[in-house]
Amino acid sequence: MKSIFIIMLSAVFVDNFVLSKFMGICPFLGVSKKLSSSLGMGAAVIFVMVCATAVTYPVYSGILAPNGLEYLNTVSFILIIALFVQLVEIALKKIMPPLYNALGVYLPLITTNCAVLGVTLINIENGYSFVESLANSFFVGVGFTLSLILFSGVRSKLETADIPQTFKGVPSTLIAASIVSISFLAFSGLIK
Whether 62 contacts 68, CB under 8 Å: no
One residue of 26, 65, 91, 179 binding other proteins per CB under 8 A: 91
Looking at beta carbons only, is 25 or 55 nearer to other proteins? 55
Name the one range near other proteins by CB under 8 A: 9-17, 72-80, 141-149, 176-184.
72-80
Please report, to the nearest 10 degrees, the dihedral formed by the alpha carbons of residues 134, 76, 47, 129 taken in order: 0
Name the one range near other proteins by CB under 8 A: 35-43, 76-84, 114-122, 139-147.
76-84
d(CA 71, CA 123): 15
d(CA 156, CA 125): 38
Looking at beta carbons only, is 79 or 131 nearer to other proteins? 79
Looking at beta carbons only, is 100 or 187 nearer to other proteins? 100
How many angstroms from the chain centroid is the CA of residue 181?
A: 15
Verify binding: residue 87, other proteins, rule CB under 8 A. yes
131-145 burial, b if ≥16 CB within 10 A, otherwise e? ebbbbbbbbbbbbbb
Residues that bind other proteins (CB under 8 A): 59, 63-64, 67-69, 72, 75-76, 79-80, 82-83, 86-87, 90-91, 93-95, 101, 160-162
